[in-house]
Structure 1
Amino acid sequence: MIKQATLFFLVLGLAACSGIDQPSLSADSGVSDTLLEDMPKEWADSYAGNLEVQLFIDRLVQEHNYDRKRLELAFSHIKVRPKVIEKSDNQPEVITPYYEYKTRFVNEERAKLGRQFAKRNAEWLHKAELEFGVESRVIVALIGVETYYGRITGSKDVFTSLTTLAFDYPRRKDYFQSELEAYLLLVRKEGWNIGKTKGSYSGAMGMVQFMPSNYQKLAIDYDNSGHIDLWGSDADAIGSVANYLRHHGWKAGEPWFVMAHVEDRDKVADDINRGRKPNVDMTVWSSLGVLPTQPFLLQKTGLIGLRTGPETISYWLAYENFFTIMDYNPSRRYAMSVLELAESIGSYENN
């Protein structure tokens, strides 16, 4: 085993080369003793034997008064999960063309199950629509795309997935360390067992697939049961989705998108799929040869172009509500699938 002092100077050297702020290791930091001694042999192949994890634990102890022994025991039982990194680098929302991607979600079976879900939960959907201004079919479709209406909520240990991404996925390390922190605070607040929470490979949880920070801030106890249950309560899932979308700017009663014709793609190539906000007036689009083919509102929109066949690209002018769905998942393929499924589901009053 590498002596701790050697490991310590190696890590500090890497930090200095990369421009990372070096951690303060004062005598009362709580981690300095660990740095001066060999870690327990049983930690050698686990995350508890990772110096960076020890510094993370130290921060949670200092900032949140977290129990150090509980954290060290939890991290000592887990190792890196390589498939999490592999999946994070090969997300279908990024690499799969829309005409293939949408078939997973926009189909008659999922629309049929969505209508059944809407019927069962008509009271909660009506309540959420009145209180949050989000159409019922959008709420239902989002849950349908995320987890097949609660049928597929993920079977991976959230703690191991988040830890892997927090310490072995440099591209989004800071984000996943903050989500790991949020998860551990949720564990303590909700009385969960660390490592027993099941979710997606990226750490998303429940039938709405909230990341831990969103679970903390935006999940709600909509059925007033006394606790939030995003796995077993349709009402909590419905209320939480509606709360999330309103929080991110959903505008009640406003359109999502209109189909468009593009006269000269090269003329607007730099504007297609650009940005995360509607940014161009309809009059400007018209001058550029981008023409709505459906009734439209004179509001700013963004130009969406997605491959709807091997050699076909279709275009839409997207309003604010389309981009609000992208706050849930920053993929245009995802947002379009949710809204197309919502159109297929229709209004629950008529089903």
Structure 2
Amino acid sequence: MAQAFTDPLKLRFHSDDEPAEKVINYWSHDHPLFLTVVPPQAKNNNMPTDDDPITVCHCCVRPISSSTYYYSCKHDGCSFTLHKYCVELPRTLQQHALHQQRDHPLHLVKLVHTFLLCDACDKRCNTFFYECGQRDCYFRIDVNCAFLPKIIKHEYFHKEHHLVQHTGPSWISRCKICEQNFYKHVGYKCDACNFRLDLHCALKSPYSLPHRYCKGGHEVPLMCPPIEDHPEDFYCEICEEEMNPLIPLYYCGKCKNSFHIRCLSRVYRYENYLREGSLNDPYYHNHPLTFVRRKKPSKEVCYRCNGDINGFLFLECRTGNCSYCLCLECWEPHPEHI
């Protein structure tokens, strides 16, 4: 599967140079952290092909195997891990392009027992983020969005010009691909063409994705019009709504199946959310449920919304042969579960 761009910190800070310090004390953690080397076979495959859980960094919430080196806690019962480059993140950003108050510095903060909504992507974050230290200024941005690329070139949606990062009012911030507004949140634009992309369509829609509707097990490619040999009417196989034939879509030429980009490439609000352990919530399921990330076959989906859970954080039943799975967007936690 052609992976979407989901790891801006790796692009900005990654280095294969071995750290000089083998043991460190990190400012947000009570125990020492020890340098660990990722095995080459794991480093070359960030999304395992088997059913093993995906271990993530406790800062950026991306697979720990995406970096050659990481630091981990060896204290009994503590699973705290950080990429080498996340350890090296600056504690203070003197200014940030997405913050309207350009003279206000942003400080790196660790959340405890709560979550916030990132002002750039509007997704939940409960690990590390940058916040404005000025009184009555509530700008907060998770560490991934803090280091998004300022300029991109999109190979599918806008080949003519580069796209520049921006935020803006809703009347000029409507995505040309998914036709959704991204008011006050980050996107990319080409002023010469009056072309706008929201963050998901710009950076997080893979060039191909598997889907259970395609019986042959092949992946569904992202395609731009015109689509050859397409049925006369365009209807999304997931939402069953009629589609605009003039905008890009996922289309399987073998099965003649069409999908909206947002229907097949899921916008998951818990992408930057970290949870571990288990809970009992009889409203949803009679057995205990465990928080886990893992590679799942495309046929295995959330039992409630029928949505994709592959690689996402979800709740899984591990009782006997029970295969119940629940995505976090369908789980409405009680306050004590947040």
TM-score (norm 2): 0.23
Larger helix percent: 1
From the two aligned structures, give the one with the greater strand fraction. 2
